Structure 1
Amino acid sequence: MAYRVYLSGEIHTDWRDQIIRGCKDSGLDIEFSSAVTNHEASDAAGDCLGEEGSQFWRDHKSAKVNAIRIQTVIKHCDLAIIRFGDKYKQWNAAFDAGYCAALGKPYITLHDEAIVHALKEVDGAAQAWATSPAQVVEILTYITNQA
């Protein structure tokens, strides 16, 4: 069975590439999807709807356009990996985790131990908490090889 895995969260490191490469090297049948990882493109997603005089309304429109893609992908995934980095606050990732929880979609959080307390509710609803992309690959290997 091919798994559909959504990769959510932090965009400043290569964690997505590490997971995708690790799964490919392990021969796993997984189809990956992700939020838009180009920060400028994501911020400009609503610009086609007209120029705004306020940054709030520009962000508001872009968030709604981005939500079309994100909500659709989450609804169709089998599992989400949600990465929280230590440099920036990933409120969008927390929202994705909550959306997964509301839909009953399993998710794995990926973050350092230093932010366990801040993410206690997000981790509490997750099926697993990993601290490295390699651990995520191990989990994906286990669940895809247990047919």
Structure 2
Amino acid sequence: MELNVYLAGEIHSSWRQDLKEAAKNRNLPLHFTGPMENHDRSDDIGEEILGTMPTSILKDEAASSINNLRTQILLQKADVVIALFGETYKQWNSAMDAATAIALQKPLILIRPEKLHHPLKELANKAQVVVETPEQAIQALSYVFEEE
């Protein structure tokens, strides 16, 4: 059995690569997807497909429609969603992806530092598992594959 894991969260740090390495080191049969990690491509995809937009707001709207298409398809195909909330960046997309996973009844692993317990308490209450590190998320997924 292989699980499709959608990695929701900020795209500016190496947390996804760290998590993938931890999974590889445990020989877990996981296939990872997630949002477009190339920020410029994500911002420009609407104009690349639909043409130049007359305002920055319309450029953002065009890009978000294409990015939302990608996210919706990948979330629907996911067996489990891991959403990381860090302390450095605003996490609106992470919150939207986590809420979508809940609405789609996808199992959700929420990664957040203890410091963010209060602002994420409702979301955490809907997640199947709440951890503080990507390594703990991999440990939780590793348990799924244990036979004894």
TM-score normalised by length of structure 2: 0.94
Which residue pairs with 2:122 in the alignment? 121
Which residue pairs with 1:60 in the alignment? 61
- State how far apart, in whole Å, the 1-side matches of 2:147 and 2:91 are: 32
Q: Summarize deviations over 1:111-135 as a string: whole Å, max 9, x none.
A: 1111111111211111111111110
Q: Aligned partner of 1:84: which letter? A: F
- State how far apart, in whole Å, the 2-side matches of 1:114 and 1:122 are: 15
- State how far apart, in whole Å, the 1-side matches of 2:111 and 2:142 are: 16
SS in 1 for 2:45: coil
- Structure 2's unaligned 5+ residue stretches are none
Q: Summarize deviations over 1:85-143 as a string: whole Å, max 9, x none.
A: 21111101101011111110111111111111111121111111111111011001101
- State how far apart, in whole Å, the 1-side matches of 2:109 and 2:20 are: 15
Q: Aligned partner of 1:135: which letter? A: Q
Q: Aligned partner of 2:67: which letter? A: N
- State how far apart, in whole Å, the 1-side matches of 2:114 and 2:40 are: 30
Kept in 2, the 8 Å contact 1:83–1:110? The answer is yes
Which residue pairs with 1:9 in the alignment? 9
Q: Report how many aligned residue pairs link the two structures.
A: 147
Kept in 2, the 8 Å contact 1:3–1:144? The answer is no
- Structure 1's unaligned 5+ residue stretches are none
CA offset at residue 144 of structure 1?
2.3
- State how far apart, in whole Å, the 1-side matches of 2:59 and 2:14 are: 28
